[in-house]
Amino acid sequence: MDGREGAGSPGKGGTERVPPDWPERRGPRVEVQQREEEESGREAAVPLPAPGTGGDRSQPPARMGSRVTFFEVEILDWKTKQQLCFLDKVEPHATISDIRLMFHKSYPQWYPARQSIRLDPKGKSLRDEEILQHLPVGTTATLYFKDLGPQIGWTMVFLTENAGPLFIYFLFYFRMPFVYGLDDRLTSSPHPVVNLACFCHSFHYIKRLIETIFVHRFSHGTMPLRSIIKNCFYYWGFAGWLAYYINHPLYTPPSYGQKQINFAVIMFLICEAGNFSIHVALSDLRKDGSKIRKIPYPTKNPFTWLFFFVSCPNYTYEVGAWISFTIMTQCVPVGLFTLLCFIQMTVWAKDKHHTYVREFKDYPSLRVPIIPFLL
């Protein structure tokens, strides 16, 4: 996705510093702090953070000699390197979240959730809580902006992604006439495992909907609109594909009969209970509404003891549930979906594991990303 140029005439590209007394500045200039010195030459008073800057009142701004040292922040387009905004006299304790809000005042169409602010044009986005003076920049900082596009809240994302497969599966389970035809032979299934599969599939997505509303606490508030379209296509499409074969009149039950089915159901329910327990444990880490990352540890709940061995047991249980569903139905589309889920969740788990290791020096060394002792 390309960055977009802001309104007005942008300044020169690159990292050229614009002097604060330049009468014809290119790009909007935002005054975030003003201070006055007495004409008698006495030392300037340390001002309190301006409203909306998010400065920490308990910590005075950095000083250089007897004067307060403020920052100048130049924001460039990540692709064209053109100057979009120049922030003058920024508090050293201002956070990236504060800078997003300042930038938003100049460009209302780019609300904070759409903004990716970074140190390098192709680098990672800076976190909202990162403080300006702690970044590897001088008192004149150059940051890069990328437009992330329209955003949707994570709660709506999860509700949309999970409600779709639930509804689509029922279309095939109830043998709608436009799916398999009008013949009486095609209106019911002779295999009890088909009913059981519908129960398990529905249980899985209903649980996820309940977790979205009552359990999950999201560290990131939004997702790009284009991503939810892609995700819905993936989840809804696979739900329709596997439902078509499981509920098809020619569907054949598992090779080992009821023993295979019973084993798979027990394994499925255990994994679903484990997945729910991990989500509750992760949610409890942020009961106070904090977005600070913490190390999750096992609790008295036995399902959380998997934290002794892996960093992301919620993904471990999720993959286990789909493996169980594959064994229960013995259906190729389900197996393919399970494989793709495993690959994607392994990528997520590795990324999260490496983040834990990087941020916490005392992170348990026995843990691996997703499969105990292996991966």
Return the higher-pLDDT residue of 203 and 89: 203
Whole-number percent of the chain with pLDDT over 70: 77
- In CATH, what number is assigned to the domain containing residue 75? 3.10.20.90
Looking at the structure, do residues 321 and 199 belong to the same domain, yes or no? yes
Res 242: pLDDT: 94
Looking at the structure, do residues 275 and 145 belong to the same domain, yes or no? no
Looking at the structure, do residues 96 and 201 belong to the same domain, yes or no? no
Query: Closest by alpha carbon to 230, among 295, 176, 294, 157?
Result: 157
Does a structural domain hold residue 246?
A: yes
Looking at the structure, do residues 231 and 343 belong to the same domain, yes or no? yes
Does a structural domain hold residue 328?
A: yes
Res 40: pLDDT: 39
Query: 180 has which bridge partners?
Result: none
Question: CA 343, CA 339: separation in Å to the nearest integer?
Answer: 6
Is residue 113 scored above 70 in pLDDT? yes
The DSSP element (H or E) to which 146 belongs, if any, is strand 140-147
Is residue 48 scored above 70 in pLDDT? no
Tell me the CA end-to-end span of the chain in Å, nearest whole number. 33
Return the higher-pLDDT residue of 197 and 149: 197
Mean pLDDT of the chain: 81
Does a structural domain hold residue 364?
A: no
pTM: 0.70
Question: CA 295, CA 312: separation in Å to the nearest integer?
Answer: 11
Cβ-based neighbours of 297, under 8 Å, separated by 6 or more: 307
Looking at the structure, do residues 142 and 177 belong to the same domain, yes or no? no
Whole-number percent of the chain with pLDDT over 90: 50
What is the full DSSP assignment across 194-233? Answer: HHHHHHHHHHHHHHHHHHHHHT---SS-EEEHHHHHHHHH
Looking at the structure, do residues 218 and 166 belong to the same domain, yes or no? yes
Res 174: pLDDT: 86
Q: Indicate the range of 96-100, 148-152, 236-240, 357-361 predicted with least confidence.
A: 148-152
Looking at the structure, do residues 319 and 273 belong to the same domain, yes or no? yes
Residue ending a domain, choose from 83, 117, 149: 149
The DSSP element (H or E) to which 291 belongs, if any, is none
pLDDT category, 311, cuts 50, 70, 90? Answer: very high
**61 SS3 class:** coil
- Assess contact for 201 and 207: CB atoms under 8 A: no
Looking at the structure, do residues 213 and 317 belong to the same domain, yes or no? yes
Please count the structural domains in the chain: 2
Q: What is the pLDDT of residues 247-285, one digit of tens each?
A: 988 889 999 999 999 999 999 999 999 999 999 999 988
Looking at the structure, do residues 214 and 121 belong to the same domain, yes or no? no
Res 372: pLDDT: 94
Does a structural domain hold residue 209?
A: yes
CA atoms within 13 A on the CB side of 228: 19
Res 183: pLDDT: 59
Does a structural domain hold residue 58?
A: yes
Looking at the structure, do residues 137 and 263 belong to the same domain, yes or no? no
Residue ending a domain, choose from 86, 121, 149: 149
Looking at the structure, do residues 301 and 273 belong to the same domain, yes or no? yes
Is residue 286 scored above 70 in pLDDT? yes
Q: What is the pLDDT of residues 327-350, one digit of tens each?
A: 999 999 999 999 999 999 999 999
Residue ending a domain, choose from 128, 149, 170: 149
Looking at the structure, do residues 142 and 158 belong to the same domain, yes or no? no
Does a structural domain hold residue 84?
A: yes
Does a structural domain hold residue 82?
A: yes
Does a structural domain hold residue 1?
A: no
Q: Which domain holds residue 162?
A: 152-349
- Assess contact for 268 and 328: CB atoms under 8 A: yes
